[in-house]
Structure 1
Amino acid sequence: MYKEFLDFTLNMVKGVAEIQLSYFRGNNLGIQTKSNIFDVVTRADKESEEYIAHAIFERYPDHKLLGEEGGFRGNEHSDYLWVVDPLDGTTNFSQGLPLFCISVALQYKGETIVGVVYAPYINELFTAVKGEGAYMNYGSGISQRIHVSQKQSLNPSVIATGFPYDKDINPDNNSGNLAKIIPHVRDIRRQGTAAYDICCVAAGMLDGYWELSLNLWDVCAANLILQEAGGVIDYFRENRGVSEIAGNETIVNEIKKYIK
């Protein structure tokens, strides 16, 4: 039913990937800061979002768009909302680190129906359509269905997290949570991109994930992919943006014992 939207999105992210790879590890990034010194944006972020916006409104002129760089635009009364993080992992990108991704989701009447997350440098593509499962393409051209880890305790688990941009001025910055949970897990990863972290949980490469003070564009596509892979999302805070735990149901409940 939603194949048209998925095919359109897949073609679109290929074009965005070309933009990002043309800038990556180059000297023309045009790095600027946004909310503070820790919150950076590059020419690639801005050009990627404009490419996406142009493609969407050329194909679907009555839709609306929420993007990290440009906010809301388009038909505010539309039932269709595209939620876009054009370059998730900008700090990695700006440092020349290869973990960054394009995150595109489509919502219909508030429900996410299509999610695509593509990490262009490592050529990993994650996709989901509502009710049809989640898939990962490892660069072979063949999509494989993915499922969350089946681990039932934290001790053998590897989980991921991240930290909010206001970590220097707000003591509610996740460092306390990290200290509490470290003794109870096999290890922690901090990969620098929420969308990719959640997709790794969807594919069973990570066993769980939590973070606070995210935005809808960080997680919208990846959350659908995770849920279609059999995972669950728990929103554990209401006063710090989008704050969520992801994993199988047991691991989510175990993580909740140590974070707040």
Structure 2
Amino acid sequence: MTDAPAALLPVALRAAEIASDLVRTRVPGLLTAKGDRDMASEVDYAVERAVREYLKEQTPDIAILGEEEGITGDTTGELLWAIDPVDGTANFVRGIPLCGISIGLLEKGRPVVGVIDLPFLGTRYHAAQHTGAYLGDRRIQASMTTNLKDAIVAIGDYAIGENAEAKNRQRIALTECLAANVQRVRMFGSVAIDLAWVAEGKLDASITLSNKPWDMAAGVIIAREAGAEVTDQDGTDHTFASAATVATNPALTDDIRSLIGTAHEAQRRG
């Protein structure tokens, strides 16, 4: 990796600050339907526009991918910003404080810079490749849990939209396998929180059976820099093109992967 992407961490931090101020000071406003049981608030759009404007001003040559407005800019370059203005919108609009802002920078499809701001919890996580992961000024690391029965594991939301019923059979099978083997299963409704808390050691693993770059980019690099392993569900290295996002402390990687395989086989057998 060149030095340039890591040097853009201050830009990502300032973008997160702009976004956090908007989320904390505005009401959700009108909701726009985005398909089956999915929506965006006025704040989602306002935050994305503000962050896009700032990033375009600071890094005009880097394309931007956002959840609400897609991709803009020169997509032939090696760098790409990936932003989720409010990860956990369903929580946000109900006044549940478990939501976050995710701003990641990818180089050739792999995250190299990430900032996650949890505006209602007053915490901001950041990382750049090869420099460690931090909560504010404090360096953080993944948990040291070694026994699956002592592990707290977060899972991503159940699927909505097209083929939700089929997708959820696998998710429910996974939930059953986890419930029978780990200390606790949690669903917070924000993968940004899941990955940040794996990085901080609050969680021992998180499993999300999907991969949307605006959701994952920041959290993946933060978790990795904290010592967690982040892979696809089959154990291959997690990238922009992965089908799922599995983050674990290294001691539990094999056990978690085995549970995912067991759940997949149980779902396949029907």
Same fold (TM over 0.5): yes
Q: Is the 8 A contact 1:34 1:40 kept in 2?
A: yes
Match of 1:161 in 2: 155
Aligned counterparts of 1:35 and 1:3: Cα–Cα separation in 2 = 37
> What is the DSSP-based 3-state SS (H/G/I as helix, E as strand, rest coil) of the residue aligned with 2:166?
coil
Matches within 5 A, 1:1-260: 1=3, 2=5, 4-23=7-26, 26=27, 29-37=29-37, 39-137=38-136, 143-162=137-156, 163-166=158-161, 169-173=164-168, 174-236=171-233, 242-259=243-260, 260=264
Aligned counterparts of 2:162 and 2:183: Cα–Cα separation in 1 = 25
Match of 2:267 in 1: none
Q: Is the 8 A contact 2:155 2:207 kept in 1?
A: yes
> What is the DSSP-based 3-state SS (H/G/I as helix, E as strand, rest coil) of the residue aligned with 1:131?
coil
Aligned counterparts of 2:111 and 2:163: Cα–Cα separation in 1 = 34
Q: How far did residue 3 of structure 1 move?
A: 5.5
The gaps in structure 2 that reach 5 residues or longer are: 265-270
| Structure 1 residues 198-222: Cα deviation after superposition (integer angstroms, max 9, x where no partner) | 1101110011110112311111110
| Structure 1 residues 78-136: Cα deviation after superposition (integer angstroms, max 9, x where no partner) | 22210111110111001110011110011233332211000011111110011001011
> What is the DSSP-based 3-state SS (H/G/I as helix, E as strand, rest coil) of the residue aligned with 1:107?
strand
Q: CA, structure 1 residues 209+3, in 2 after alignment: closer, same or farther (shift >3 Å)?
A: closer
Aligned counterparts of 2:6 and 2:213: Cα–Cα separation in 1 = 23
Aligned counterparts of 1:49 and 1:85: Cα–Cα separation in 2 = 7
Q: CA, structure 1 residues 165+206, in 2 after alignment: closer, same or farther (shift >3 Å)?
A: same
Higher share in helix:
2
Q: How far did residue 189 of structure 1 move?
A: 1.0
Q: Is the 8 A contact 2:198 2:247 kept in 1?
A: yes
Aligned counterparts of 1:135 and 1:169: Cα–Cα separation in 2 = 36
Q: Is the 8 A contact 1:17 1:120 kept in 2?
A: yes
Q: Is the 8 A contact 1:49 1:86 kept in 2?
A: yes
> What is the DSSP-based 3-state SS (H/G/I as helix, E as strand, rest coil) of the residue aligned with 2:55?
helix
Code of the aligned partner of 1:31: L
Aligned counterparts of 1:144 and 1:251: Cα–Cα separation in 2 = 24
> What is the DSSP-based 3-state SS (H/G/I as helix, E as strand, rest coil) of the residue aligned with 2:180?
helix
CA RMSD of aligned residues (A): 1.9
Q: Percent identity, aligned pairs only?
A: 28
Aligned counterparts of 1:189 and 1:117: Cα–Cα separation in 2 = 19
Aligned length: 250
Q: CA, structure 1 residues 230+241, in 2 after alignment: closer, same or farther (shift >3 Å)?
A: closer
Code of the aligned partner of 1:160: A
Q: Is the 8 A contact 1:153 1:254 kept in 2?
A: no
| Structure 1 residues 124-178: Cα deviation after superposition (integer angstroms, max 9, x where no partner) | 11100110010112xxxxx111111111121011110022223884232101110
Q: CA, structure 1 residues 249+3, in 2 after alignment: closer, same or farther (shift >3 Å)?
A: closer
